[in-house]
């Protein structure tokens, strides 16, 4: 591979592959994908913990133009999703565009040429006209700085860095956190661990998942009648959009969802005290709603206990809570999420116009972009799943697809530029958009006062999009050239 390409895509997960497939479709083939690992897949390559699966139905959580009639379940597991990604990449010969073991750590915009100069972890240099950053919002594991953690002599790891050599059978296992990964891990470990201690900071609202295998008849029909699969995808999408009104201000839907979740909790957890601990005390939807049919029943097992006291410190052999209670643990699993709404531990240093550093600007002013895609002061740079593009109700692949509509327009506009061929977003456009986005959280469930990783240190929700995906699709359908200035 040569060291100059028109477009450099950073990351070969769903975002990077979505970008590559769309560029190919538009006849734009001068692109390279930089991937830090030895294989593609992103989160579906990295997260290999027991029970890892998607909480969006597979017929929707897939590339729009690459339907898969062979999904085995309504909600597919990690291995099947990863294999699907590799099959699509092979079909479209994307492997020839991917440069593995290449972790881009620095990007500097050179105003004279209108190009980006990229540097990887081995100090190799690359040059591109435009960057599409598809590193993903949830790729930096967060392990809380608990006192004494370095003294603990047992096995400890984050759920996204699963220790495949660690056998859990007959072990005393502690799981810290009760989020999206924990509710999949706990049911898998409960039958095999001698004791399973789950440390919960705040309870999560949990709704039925209703996963099931697709029958051979269904898969055959999807194969021979693709319109049926398209219909199924659209049905799933529009049901999700309808339920999304639960988040954006429909109080009746919110009350119905609350009732359903509480009925599920009452039915599935026998012990009243445990049930009380598992009852959230915030508006449903303010934090991520979790889907599971086997997490809550796991707490009926005699070897599983739920601890809600704050963790004070680690000892060499276990965990001590604030009330002085000690819990022995052979293995500690941190299901404590990722850095998302903050800028800690960013691996990529991005320098734009006049030496402006993106991370420094975000640390001072807060994380923001225009439509979650472009940033003033950083020309010829586009983000996949940038700030305020996360969802609480639907598939982020729909967001990615919408973003590529906008990015393709950007590329076409860029190709028509004279001089250096660089497009910079006007600062007032970005400022106005983000004021509007923040104002739209008023009246939604996210403005009801819960503490969540959706919010930054200034209390702004920089993670989620406050409307439905149909609105975002309309916002990103086409670029407005007047929003940009040629430099």
**Where do you find CATH 3.50.50.60 in the chain?**
4-140+340-486, 149-205+248-334
173 SS3 class: strand
Tokens of 381: 């740079």
Least Cα distance to 197 among 93, 319, 357, 100 occurs for 319
DSSP 8-state class, residue 40: S
- Cross-sheet strand order for the sheet of 304-307: 155-158, 331-334, 172-176, 195-199, 304-307
Burial of 357 (0-12, 13-18, 19+ CB in 10 A): middle
- Gyration radius from the chain CA atoms: 23
Bridging pattern class, strands 155-158 and 331-334 = parallel
Tokens of 427: 């600062």
pLDDT of 410 reads 97
Strand segments, DSSP code E, in 4-56 are: 4-10, 31-34
Largest CA distance in the chain: 72
Fold of 149-205+248-334: FAD/NAD(P)-binding domain (3.50.50)
CA torsion angle 183 185 187 193 (round to 10): -140
Residue 129 CA to residue 421 CA, distance in Å, equals 9
Return the CATH architecture of domain 4-140+340-486. 3-Layer(bba) Sandwich (3.50)
Question: Residue 204: which residues within 8 A CB-CB, separation 6 or more?
Answer: 178, 179, 183, 280, 287, 288, 289, 290
For the chain, what's the residue count?
487
DSSP 8-state class, residue 213: B
DSSP 8-state class, residue 150: G
Strand segments, DSSP code E, in 329-384 are: 331-334, 349-351, 381-383
Burial of 326 (0-12, 13-18, 19+ CB in 10 A): exposed
Residue 278 CA to residue 272 CA, distance in Å, equals 10
Sequential pLDDT tens for the chain (487 residues) = 578 999 999 999 999 999 999 999 999 999 999 999 999 999 999 999 999 999 999 999 999 999 999 999 999 999 999 999 999 999 999 999 999 999 999 999 999 999 999 999 999 999 999 999 999 877 788 899 999 999 999 999 999 999 999 999 999 999 999 999 999 999 999 999 999 999 999 999 999 999 999 999 999 999 999 999 999 999 999 999 998 888 888 889 999 999 999 999 999 999 999 999 999 999 999 999 999 999 999 999 999 999 999 999 999 999 999 999 999 999 999 999 887 655 544 668 999 999 999 999 998 989 999 999 999 999 999 999 999 999 989 999 999 999 999 999 999 999 987 656 899 999 999 999 999 999 999 999 999 989 888 888 888 999 999 999 999 999 999 999 999 999 8
CA distances from 455 to 55, 207, 387, 388, 464 (A): 22, 23, 11, 11, 9
**Spatial contact of 322 and 310, defined as CB atoms under 8 Å apart:** yes
Measured from the Cβ of residue 323, the count of other Cβ atoms closer than 10 Å reads 9
């Amino acid at each position: 591979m040569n060291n100059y390409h028109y477009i450099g895509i950073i990351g070969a997960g769903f975002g990077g592959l979505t970008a590559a497939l769309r560029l190919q479709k538009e006849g734009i083939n001068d692109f390279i994908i930089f991937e830090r690992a030895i294989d593609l897949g992103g989160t579906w390559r990295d997260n290999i913990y027991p029970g890892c699966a998607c909480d969006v139905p597979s017929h929707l959580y897939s590339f729009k133009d690459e339907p898969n009639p062979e999904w085995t379940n309504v909600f597919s597991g990690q291995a099947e999703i990863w294999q699907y990604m590799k099959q699509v990449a092979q079909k479209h010969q994307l492997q020839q565009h991917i440069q593995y073991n290449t972790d881009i750590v620095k990007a500097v915009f050179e105003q004279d040429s209108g190009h980006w100069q990229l540097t990887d972890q081995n100090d190799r240099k690359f040059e591109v006209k435009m960057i599409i950053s598809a590193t993903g919002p949830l790729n930096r594991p967060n392990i809380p700085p608990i006192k004494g953690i370095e003294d603990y002599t047992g096995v400890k790891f984050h759920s996204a860095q699963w220790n495949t050599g660690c056998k859990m059978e007959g072990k005393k296992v502690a799981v810290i956190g009760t989020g999206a990964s924990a509710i999949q891990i706990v049911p898998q470990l409960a039958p095999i661990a001698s004791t399973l201690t789950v440390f919960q900071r705040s309870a999560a609202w949990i709704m039925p998942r209703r996963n099931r295998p697709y029958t051979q008849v269904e898969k055959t029909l999807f194969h021979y009648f693709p319109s049926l699969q398209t219909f199924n995808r659209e049905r799933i999408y529009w049901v999700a959009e309808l339920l999304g009104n639960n988040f954006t201000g429909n109080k009746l839907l919110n009350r119905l969802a609350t009732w359903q979740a509480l009925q599920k909790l009452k039915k599935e957890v026998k012990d009243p005290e445990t049930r009380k601990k598992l009852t959230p005390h915030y508006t449903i939807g303010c934090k991520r709603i979790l889907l599971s049919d086997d997490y809550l029943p796991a707490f009926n097992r005699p070897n599983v206990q739920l601890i809600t006291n704050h963790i004070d410190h680690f000892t060499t052999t276990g965990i001590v809570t604030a009330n002085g209670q000690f819990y022995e643990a052979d293995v500690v699993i941190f299901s404590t999420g990722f850095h998302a709404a903050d800028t800690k531990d960013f691996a990529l240093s991005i320098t734009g116009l006049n030496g402006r550093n993106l991370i420094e600007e975000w640390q001072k002013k807060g994380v923001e972009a225009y439509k979650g895609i472009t940033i003033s002061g950083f020309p010829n740079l586009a983000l996949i799943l940038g700030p305020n593009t996360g969802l609480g109700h639907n598939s982020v692949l729909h967001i990615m697809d919408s973003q590529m509509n906008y990015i393709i327009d950007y590329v076409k506009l860029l190709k028509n530029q004279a001089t250096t061929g660089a497009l910079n977003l006007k600062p007032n456009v970005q400022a106005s958009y983000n004021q509007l986005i923040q104002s739209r959280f008023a009246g939604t469930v996210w403005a009801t006062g819960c503490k969540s990783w959706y919010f930054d240190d200034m209390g702004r929700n920089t993670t989620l999009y406050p409307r439905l995906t149909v609105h975002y699709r309309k916002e990103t359908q086409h670029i407005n050239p007047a929003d940009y200035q040629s430099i």
